[in-house]
Amino acid sequence: MIQLIRGFKDILPGEVELWQQIEKITVDLFEDFGFSQIRIPIMERTELFKRSIGEDTDIVEKEMYTFPDRKGDLVTLRPEATASIVRAYIQHKLFAADPVQKLYMVGPMFRRERPQKGRYRQFYQIDAEIFGVASPLVDVQLIFLLTTLFSRLKVADAQAHINSLGCPRCRPGFKAALREMLMSVSDRLCPDCIRRRDRNPLRVLDCKVPSCREALADAPSILDHLCADCRQDFDAVQQSLDRLAVPYVVDKRLVRGLDYYARTTFEIQTGSLGAQSAVAGGGRYDGLVKALGGPEIPATGFAIGFDRLAEICGLDVENLLDKPQLFVAALGDRSQSLAFEWVCRLGQAGIRAEMDFSGRSLKSQMKRANRLGAAHVLIVGEDELEKGAAILRNMETKEQTMFDLARVVENIKQIFAGSR
């Protein structure tokens, strides 16, 4: 038997209902906050991700699914959404009508990582981006939106972590101080971090190797190096979060390794996912639109890991499963063909009805109706045909009603109207 690819997964009925509910609640919230949906391709030119995510990131160095297409052009299955959304924003000149655009998307991403709980090679993200607003208040709005969403989804244990990455004016000073400190602990760093120390020292801060984390316990904090503007900006973020009563912790190790990221950066973390603690990550990336060939327009956004969110979501799946409102138990060929017509007509009218096509005994059909959790069963046997009537049985109260065969669909529609 051919099995699915390692790190990929099926989302089966029973679990899908939860995913649908999460997506519905999320989309409703996005729409309430004035976001519009954008749909981007699953594949892009490799160059786009190299330029936007950066050559010396884990994603580009070792996680992308990249291959030449049949004409030899290098293409990549998208590992994240921001690059494509920025490309679309520039390519379709969305800024021309109004530079302020609030966009969201939901869909699969691909990264060839080591599969484990909460880490897959095809996973899903919910992504939101705001273009054209430089004010730190929209960063706060994004964090507020995330915490609102997480509480609607009954996520028990989620905590916002925030930091500032400074700007191109103050970050170089911090980088130099950090590099100097890293030189003094070089013998305790992993080989990856030795390389990062020279090429991109910020990334050493989020290395997950325990010995590196220990070596960095006393690393300098970027918050001590912010310029006056960045300081003011970060203070405004915290004051505004306080006013909105959003709990957060300032986490000086939260970084993005790329130069176009600036100022506010944030993550939502949870203790209930083991090693995979980040459920969502985001921040301001003011330099990216320009770096990808567009005008100088600030931007900020986040991505939520849908798979991880589904694992920690506290909504009750049992209640979400849709059960048939009606099961038609039909005995004999004539009843079966009548039943078939009713089931079709009822489905068309928005009433979920099921029947058994095997012509089994009434007893086994009732058993099936019970197993499906049908609220009512409509019984048509030889006796009922003879009398020109069908019997509707309420499975909970056991109450039975007789219907004229000619008026079954109308009567059922009337009974169930608005009950769904």
Judged by the rule CB under 6 A, the positions of this chain that interact with ligand ATP are 80, 111, 113, 118-120, 123, 125, 276, 278-281, 303, 305, 307-308
> Shortest distance, CB of residue 179 to ligand ATP, whole angstroms?
22
Asked whether 296 and 387 are in contact (CB, 8 A), the reply is no
> Shortest distance, CB of residue 256 to ligand ATP, whole angstroms?
8
Cα-Cα-Cα-Cα dihedral sign, residues 198, 203, 209, 212: positive
Looking at beta carbons only, is 7 or 99 nearer to ligand ATP? Answer: 7
> Mind giving me the DSSP string for 267-308?
EEEESTTTT--EEEEEEE-TTHHHHTTS-S--EEEEEEEHHH
Looking at beta carbons only, is 21 or 125 nearer to ligand ATP? Answer: 125
> Shortest distance, CB of residue 80 to ligand ATP, whole angstroms?
6
> Shortest distance, CB of residue 79 to ligand ATP, whole angstroms?
8
> Shortest distance, CB of residue 202 to ligand ATP, whole angstroms?
13
- Roughly what angle, to the nearest 10 degrees, separates helices 137-152 and 16-32? 140
Looking at beta carbons only, is 294 or 305 nearer to ligand ATP? Answer: 305
> Shortest distance, CB of residue 275 to ligand ATP, whole angstroms?
8
> Shortest distance, CB of residue 228 to ligand ATP, whole angstroms?
29
Q: How far is 275 from 311, CA to CA, in rounded Å?
A: 14
Contacts 24+ apart (CB under 8 A), 68-74: 73/45, 74/45, 74/46, 74/47
Looking at beta carbons only, is 70 or 114 nearer to ligand ATP? Answer: 114
Tokens of 35: 């976001």
Looking at beta carbons only, is 111 or 161 nearer to ligand ATP? Answer: 111
> Shortest distance, CB of residue 166 to ligand ATP, whole angstroms?
19
Closest among 204, 250, 223, 207 to 166, alpha carbons compared: 223
Burial class (CB in 10 A: 0-12, 13-18, 19+), 232: exposed
Looking at beta carbons only, is 99 or 108 nearer to ligand ATP? Answer: 108
Tokens of 332: 């004999």
Q: Scanning the structure block, which residue is given the tokens 């912790």?
A: 249
Tokens of 210: 């325990």
Closest among 126, 112, 120 to 58, alpha carbons compared: 112
Q: How far is 65 from 44, CA to CA, in rounded Å?
A: 11
3-class SS shares of the chain: helix, strand, coil, % to 5:
40, 20, 35
Looking at beta carbons only, is 79 or 287 nearer to ligand ATP? Answer: 79
Closest among 209, 218, 412 to 327, alpha carbons compared: 412
- Roughly what angle, to the nearest 10 degrees, separates helices 191-199 and 171-184? 140
> Shortest distance, CB of residue 17 to ligand ATP, whole angstroms?
20
- Cβ within 8 Å of residue 381, ≥6 positions away: 330, 331, 332, 335, 362
Looking at beta carbons only, is 219 or 254 nearer to ligand ATP? Answer: 254
- Cβ within 8 Å of residue 50, ≥6 positions away: 60
Closest residue to ligand ATP, judged by C-beta, is: 305
Burial class (CB in 10 A: 0-12, 13-18, 19+), 191: exposed
> Shortest distance, CB of residue 146 to ligand ATP, whole angstroms?
11
Looking at beta carbons only, is 204 or 280 nearer to ligand ATP? Answer: 280
Looking at beta carbons only, is 237 or 310 nearer to ligand ATP? Answer: 310
